Structure formats: C-alpha cells, structure tokens
Amino acid sequence: MGGADPKLAEPAGMPATAAEVLLAWGELRLRDLPWRAVRDRWQILVAEVMLQQTQVARVVDRWTRFLDRFPDPTSCAAAPIGAVVAEWSGLGYNRRAVYLHRTATAIVERHEGVVPGRLHDLLELPGIGPYTARAVLVFADGADVGIVDTNVARVLARWSGRRLRANEVQAMADASVPLGSGWTWNQTLLDLGAVVCRARNPACTDCPIREGCSWRGRGEDPAGGSAGVTGRQARFEGSDRQGRGRLVATLAEGPVDVDRLPLVMGWSDDPGRAHRVAAALVADGLAVTDGRYWLLP
C-alpha cells in the first residue's frame, strides 16, 4: 500500500551540489572544438549530423570544409544531392548527407531558409530526431533542456545505478540542467562521458562526481542495455558499409562503368554482392545508374 514503487518512478536529476562540481570541472576541461565557438543554428545542425556515429577528430576539418561550400541551408538545398554526398564522402553513413540535403530543402520551403528555433518545427524536418533538435536549441540558443546521446545516457545510467527507460533518461537529463546553464551543462556532460565515463575502461577515479555515483565501477554496468546507450558497432572491415563507402568515394570522382563495379567495391570475386549493395545505394538516394554507368544523383 502507499506510494508508487520507487523502482518505477522517474529518476530525479542530479542534485545541485553535484551539478556545481561538474560545471566547475567542465570550465577547466571542456574540449576546444570549433563548433563550440559558434551559435549559428545551421552550423550547429551540420556539426551534430556529422558527429552521429563519426569520431570527433574526423569531423573537425570536414565540418569547416563543408560549411565553406554550403554556408547556409539555401546553398545546400540549391546544390544537387550528388554534390552534397561528394562533399560528405569519407565521413561514413552517407545517407546522412541525403537527409541533410532534404532538411536544407525543407528549411528553405517552410522557413524561408532559416533554421527554426522551436522544438516542434525542428522535429518535423526530415531526418532530425530528438537529440539533434535539442542540440540545436541548446548549443545555438542556450536552451535549458537536456540532450541525450550515448555518452550522456551512459553517465546517467551509471549515476542512477540501474538501466533506464527512454522516457526516464530524457526526464533525468532535463531535470539535471541548472537554470541558465544549458549550453555549459550539456557540453560538460558530453565531455564527461567521452573522456572519463567511457564505455570501456572508465576512469572512475578521475570523475568529479564519483562520490554520488551509484555504480563507480562496481558490479554489473547498468549502462549495458540502458536506453540511449549504443552497443559496439559491427565490424567494418569486409562489411557492406565498407563497400558502400568505397563506391561513393569513387563516384565523387566520376562515373563508374558497370563492369568495374565489383572491383571498385572490393569484391571482384563476388559481383552479385557488389550489385546488390549498389542497388541499396540507389534505394537510399545515394547513387543512380543508367544500366551502363553508376553515378552520384
């Protein structure tokens, strides 16, 4: 009888004392990343899309180069999809380039070329999910809302000492943001997860809020299976993803003769696989073929 089961109740945010300690830690240690020096929504949006499933070090130079070519949604939307894909080539998961082009087109058509500043409008853009939409509001406009990527989700699960459901982890992220500190708080939490509360070999002794953490490296890791925490990526070497990347990179330089397709994709001994994977690229909007040549759209 009585109150709700505490195991089912939504977890509260981090207490103010822990938040103060973490913010002080972040002020001295935040990574110097170029997108942290801007407050333009389009520039933030491009960075966040690039950072999905791609290491920070690989994004740094490519973010600047991409924006030199496509400095705003209008220039991106006006370019052929193939030009955007070619500029993206090498970052992996090239479908993100297609979605970014579609997003830019929608921004031009619905918002006069200006990235919207409301969560509802951002979520209606093609390929923009809760994390990216909230990241734009936080990092461009300083909104006091929590963002949840795999690093943040891992920190919050370990802090709580149990696996969290999707609604729980977002509620905890929102409740933890100190008033007026949305930008600094979220950047700090992201860095804590990236450099200290790592997926493997977490540096618990270096964590500024270890005293309040329910896990501290003891027992089963609650981050495993918790909402928002991604597992290990499938092996890249020899994968379909590798063949797709090879083909897109080659198409960025020019058309590929159909007879060269297996060679270009690294499967000279398996032309059936090459054509199957290439056909999936067409379905994803990343390539076209006239039966003789393969090209970027």
Question: How sure is the predictor about 237, in pLDDT bands with cuts at 50, 70 and 90?
Answer: confident
Q: What is the DSSP string of 205-256?
A: GG-TTGGG-S-TT-SS-TTTT-TT---PPPP-TTSHHHHHHHHHHHHTTS-E
What is the 8-class DSSP label of residue 53? T
Distance of CA 274 to the CA centre of its chain: 28
Residue-wise pLDDT tens digits, 186-216: 999 999 999 999 999 999 999 999 999 999 9
* Known catalytic membership, residue 48: yes
* Average pLDDT, integer, range 229-234: 69
Whether 48 and 33 have beta carbons less than 8 Å apart is answered as no
Q: Could you identify the residue written with the tokens 């090879």?
A: 246
Question: How sure is the predictor about 1, in pLDDT bands with cuts at 50, 70 and 90?
Answer: very low
Report pTM. Answer: 0.86
pLDDT at 230: 78
| Cα–Cα dist 36/143, whole Å | 15
Of 61 and 238, more confident: 61
pLDDT at 108: 98
Q: Domain 34-141: give its CATH code.
A: 1.10.340.30
48, 112, 237, 253: the active-site residue: 48
Whether 292 and 258 have beta carbons less than 8 Å apart is answered as yes
- Half-sphere exposure of 275 toward its Cβ, with a 13 Å CA cutoff? 10
